[in-house]
Chain A
Amino acid sequence: MAEITYKDAAHVCEDGETVLDALLRANADIPYSCKKGTCLSCMVQMTEGDVPQDAQKNIRPSLAQQGYFLACMCRPSGPLTIAQADDAVIYGRAIVTGIDKMTPDVCRVWLRPSTPLYYRAGQFVNIRRDDGIVRSYSLASVPRLDRELEIHVKRMPRGEMSNWFFDQVTPGDGLDLQGPNGDCFYVPGTPDQNLLLIGTGTGLAPLLGVVRDALDAGHTGNIHLYHGSREATGIYLADEVRALADTHDNFHFAPCVSGSAAAGPFRAGRADEAAFADHPDLKGWSVFICGYPAMVNAARKTAFMAGATLPNIHADPFDFRDLRHEARDEVEDKPDLW
C-alpha cells in the first residue's frame, strides 16, 4: 500500500494497483486511454518520491528526467506526490492546412504543427479539440517527403471528432497535438527484408507512410500491401497506391473487398486472409497490421505462427476507450479511428 497525493488530495494505492487505477477508483480527474503504456495520455509528473523504471519506459528521456511518468504503468513502492502534467510540455498547437474528402466516409487532413515534429511515418499523434476531446490518428506522411502531417479520418455514425473534421473544420482552424507515439514504423538497416502490410479502413494511413518511407529509403526486399474494406467504396487512394506499385518493381498492392460481390479490380475476401494465403511462410519477414482491433489481434497471431518473430510484428497499438474518463459512458458505436 502506498499513499499518493494528486492535485493536493491524498489517495491510497493498493499493493499491485497502478497509480491510474487508484486515481480512477477515487474519481480523480485524469485522462487515459490504453492502460498499457502506449498512448501516453495518462502522463503525469512526480514531484516527490520514486517511480519504478517501467513507468518511464516509453517516455522521452528529457521528460523522464523531469519526473514525467505513465500513471497506468506505475505501481509505486512508496509515497508519491504527483502533479498534473504541464500541458504545454505535452501538447503543442497545430493548424489545419487542408482537408480532402476522398470518399463520403474518409477524408485526409493536413496539419502544420507550430514547432516541427520529429516523427516517423506510421507513428501516431493525439489530437485534442478545444473542448478537451482527444483522439489518436496515425501519420501517413513521411518527414523527408512531406512538408505537412497527414492523417486519415473515417466518419463514424456518432463519432464526435470525425464528424467535426467532416462538417466543421476548415483550413486555418487550430487544434492541440501530442506526439509522436508508437513503434509502428519502418526501421532502416535491413533493406532486403520482405515486408507484409495488412490494413483495414483507415488503417491504410500508417501503412502507406511505412511503404513510402521504405521505398524512399531504397528498400530492395519485396513489399506487399493488402488493403481491405467491406465495400469497394472503402478502398480509397487506390489509384495513387497503384501508381506507386507501377513505378516500383518490389512493391505489390492488393486491394481486397470482403462484402457483397467483389467488383472489377478488387480481390474478393478479407485482406488478412488473402495476405496469409499468399505468404504462408513469414520467417524473417517484418509484418505491419493496422485496422479493426479484432482483425489486428487475430492477424498478429497468424503472422506469429507463420514464423514472424513478435518484435518483427508491428501492430497498431490503439485501444479505443475515450480519452477523458468523464466521457467514458458516452455511447459511440465505434472509435473514430476506423
Chain B
Amino acid sequence: MTDTLYDRLGGEAAVEAAVDIFYRKVLSDPSISDFFDTTDMDEQRNKQKAFLTMAFGGPNEYIGKDLREAHAPLVEKGLNDSHFDAVAGHLDATLRELGVADELIGEVLAIAGGTRDDVLNR
C-alpha cells in the first residue's frame, strides 16, 4: 500500500510548517487580504490549517456543501476566480518555499483546483 499524499507531505507537521508562511502571504496580498483580516488570528489560523489539511489530501470533515456554505458570504462580497487564483498562487509559493517536490505540489494544486466550483458557489 502506498502512503497517501498527506503522509508523503509530512502530515500534520507539514500543515504546521506551512500555515504561518501561507497566512502571512495571504495577509500581505492586498487583492485578497480583506477577506482574511480579523482580530481573532488564532481562529483564522485554525481555518487556514483546515484549508491546508484539505488541500494536502488529509483527514478533514469538509464536503463540497460545507465549502459552499463557508464561502457563500464571501461570494456575496465579490469572491471570484481572480481571488481563487491568488490563493492557489500563495499555496504554490508556500510549498516551493518549503522545498516540497514539484510532483507533490502538482497533486496539492489539483486537489485545491477541484474545489473551485464549490468555493465560488457555482
Contacts and interface: CB of A to CB of B under 8 A. Distances in A.
Interface of A: 36, 297, 300-301, 304-305, 307, 309-310
A300 B27 contact: no
Interface string B28-40: 1000000000011
Interface string B2-34: 000000000000000000100110011000000
A133 B91 CA distance: 48
B45 interface: yes
Interface in B21-63: 23-24, 27-28, 39-42, 45
Given A297-B39, A300-B41, A310-B45, A305 B27 contact: yes
Contacts of B24: 304-305, 307
A310 B42 contact: yes
A301 B41 contact: yes
A310 to B, nearest CB: 6
13 contacts: A36-B40, A297-B39, A301-B27, A301-B41, A304-B24, A304-B27, A304-B41, A305-B24, A305-B28, A307-B24, A310-B23, A310-B41, A310-B42
A304 B36 CA distance: 14
Contacts of B45: 310
Q: Is the interface of A mostly helix, strand, loop or mixed?
A: helix
Nearest to B28: A305
Contacts of A310: 20, 23, 41-42, 45
Contacts of A297: 39
- Central interface residue in A304, A305, A307, A310, by most chain B CB within 10 Å: A310
A77 to B, nearest CB: 13
A301 B39 CA distance: 9
Nearest to B21: A309
Contacts of B20: 304, 309-310
Contacts of B42: 310
Nearest to A312: B20
Given A36-B40, A300-B41, 12 more contacts: A297-B39, A304-B20, A304-B23, A304-B24, A304-B27, A304-B41, A305-B24, A305-B27, A307-B24, A309-B20, A310-B41, A310-B45
A300 B45 CA distance: 13
Nearest to B19: A310
A312 B69 CA distance: 32
A233 to B, nearest CB: 30
Contacts of A307: 24
Nearest to B45: A310
Contacts of B41: 300-301, 304, 310
A307 B27 CA distance: 12
Contacts of B28: 305
Nearest to A307: B24
A297 B45 CA distance: 14
A36 B28 CA distance: 27
Nearest to B48: A310
A129 to B, nearest CB: 30
Contacts of A36: 40
Interface pairs A-B: 7 shortest CB-CB: A309-B20, A297-B39, A310-B45, A310-B20, A300-B41, A305-B24, A310-B41
Interface in B64-95: none
A330 B42 CA distance: 30
A50 B27 CA distance: 38
A297 B41 CA distance: 9
A173 to B, nearest CB: 37
A167 to B, nearest CB: 35
Interface string B92-108: 00000000000000000
A305 B28 CA distance: 8
A94 to B, nearest CB: 31
